[in-house]
Amino acid sequence: MNDASPQDSSIPSSVADDGPDETTTFDGLGLSEPVRKALRDVGYESPSPIQAATIPPMLAGRDVVGLAQTGTGKTAAFALPVLSNLDVTDKKAPQVLVLAPTRELALQVSEAFGRYAARMKGVQVLPVYGGQGYGIQLSALRRGVHVVVGTPGRIMDHLEKRTLDLSALRFLVLDEADEMLKMGFAEDVDTILASTPATKQVALFSATMPAAIRRIAEKHLDDPVEIRVENESRTADNITQRWLTVSYPRKVDALTRILEVENFEGMIVFVRTKNETETLAEKLRSRGFSATAINGDIAQVQRERTVNQLRDGKLDILVATDVAARGLDVERISHVVNYDIPTDPEAYVHRIGRTGRAGRSGDAISFVTPREKGLLRHIERSTRQKITPMELPSVDDVNTTRLARFDDQITEALSSDRLDFFRETVAHYVRHHDVPEMDVAAALAVVMQGDQPLLLSPEPDPPARPFRERDSSGGDDRGAPGRGPRKDRPRQGGGPMATYRIAVGKRHKVQPRQIVGAIANEGGLGRGDFGHIDIRGDHSLVELPQQLPPGAWEKLKGTRISGKLIELREDSGPAKPHRKG
């Protein structure tokens, strides 16, 4: 056993840095026969480093502190020895309590216990978390359970109501302890630990060892073994990491192109705010993608339904915040996109850890605005990995993919058992209308495609930006702050401008960049089409071309900013903007 680090001198340490020996198997770790059979059923052969180092001391009854990142297999590291030592005949009161920071992780751990106990007759596992009705939990507790996996808040509720008896507890596990403390559960954790028998065995798992975690270990653990998994990199080698420079208004367009070109199964798109999850998911659905939002405001029943849809292939894209996605374990997730790059390297590691699960390869793509290059470098230094730059898929790339997909649809249709019927139908049309079969096929393709063009149009070259003198009001002729809207002022690309009114303003916390981004993306406008933007209390005034592009008016009617319909209309009142701009 190695010496502990100076800061953790009270906790003996065992460092697992090179992984298990090639000859190490689960059969050689001392696990019970039913647990080994369950592992063979799920296809597990060799333990991970954290599992190989943790299982023997836990089987021997030692308290354990495990320091490991997410995705290292720590759930099995504590679940397997606990189940091997479980008294299946006794379920009067729970023998095992696992505390987890989120509902998602509690469910994930509960499901893992169920898989590993599949060959153990009568083992009952109960997830306990907020958002689920008390009735289900109370009924299960009255019938008797062996293992309770719960969040600190709901466990505290049951203790206060005296509906959870911990007097017979033999094993207590703190999973992702540092996250529990970050979320404000320190006092609850301390109270729960104090409410359990002194003779229990305790295992504490954490990605880091801050002072607060060290205090818990010193207070509640008895001569623990510290197991520290040290990797050369904090991110998995089977995840390809790339980044793309993209300005904020172009993010939706960039994401759309990536979705068209990348070969993905399931995807999580991470954004910073709850409002942005709904807004972005709606924009993706309007572009024909199967997407939905998941955030802290979503009811638990809906959350579980959404995750199951993603797992079953009925949903392709989740737009999520960090908290909402914690503990999410779906093998089908092949890609993670950091639509908003995280400010914390730990959050980056947790995010991209949602892909590349169960030994599969994964892809992580991060959008980086010009001002966020420093965040990218900080993440690279912290993870000790270089993130590869990538180019935005071009119009030709997207069109090549669309044509290939179109070819695949034709090939698939040629093998349909309905082909004979439609062949007769087309032949009938050709005979009666004297039209070449090729023209009929082309017409059917037009019908199938509808109003959506099959190919993207090439992007026009950006116009030159000649020097402009500022006028006496302090603005310039591009509509910079200091110049009010004028209906007769020509825009850069030619043609008069008009003032439009939208139903979002200061009280909706809207920013000019959000207005530009939403209207440009939905209405097919360029940056040169925008003049002055005047944000007022409950609405905003925006200068746009008097003659909008074809179809833009209809598209903009359904546009939302911060989740609210903008209700675009021409402004009929006097346009006197605030001089603050």
- Give the pair of three-digit tokens for residue 43: 């296809």
Is pLDDT above 70 for 432?
Answer: yes
What count of other Cβ atoms lies within 10 Å of the Cβ of residue 531?
Answer: 24
Note whether 84 and 77 are within 8 A (CB).
no
Same domain membership, residue 56 and residue 157: yes
Q: For 515-545, what is each residue's pLDDT tens digit? A: 887 787 777 777 677 888 888 888 899 988 8
Same domain membership, residue 361 and residue 333: yes
- Please count the structural domains in the chain: 4
> Looking at 393, 428, 461, which one is the last position of a domain?
393
> Looking at 348, 375, 393, which one is the last position of a domain?
393
Q: 293 is in which domain, residue-wise?
A: 239-393
> Looking at 194, 229, 264, which one is the last position of a domain?
229
Question: In this structure, is residue 461 part of a structural domain?
Answer: no
Please indicate whether residue 470 or residue 198 has the higher confidence score (pLDDT): 198
Same domain membership, residue 365 and residue 481: no
What pLDDT does residue 325 have?
79
Mean pLDDT computed over every residue of the chain: 80
Running DSSP on this structure, what letter comes out for residue 167?
T
Q: What is the pTM of this model?
A: 0.47
- Give the pair of three-digit tokens for residue 67: 């320091």
Same domain membership, residue 388 and residue 256: yes
Q: How far is CA 334 from the centre of its chain?
A: 12
> Residue type for 28, please?
G
Is pLDDT above 50 for 6?
Answer: no
Is pLDDT above 90 for 506?
Answer: no
Q: For 138-155, what is each residue's pLDDT tens digit? A: 999 999 999 999 999 999
d(CA 85, CA 87): 7
Same domain membership, residue 250 and residue 199: no
Best-predicted range by mean pLDDT among 21-25, 56-60, 331-335, 462-466? 56-60
Please indicate whether residue 218 or residue 526 has the higher confidence score (pLDDT): 218
- Residue 342: which pLDDT band, with cuts at 50, 70 and 90? confident
- Residue 339: which pLDDT band, with cuts at 50, 70 and 90? very high
Question: In this structure, is residue 456 part of a structural domain?
Answer: no
Same domain membership, residue 403 and residue 388: no
Q: Which of 51-60, 359-368, 463-472 has the lowest mean pLDDT?
A: 463-472
Read off the pLDDT of each residue in 395-422 and give the average, rounded to a whole number: 75
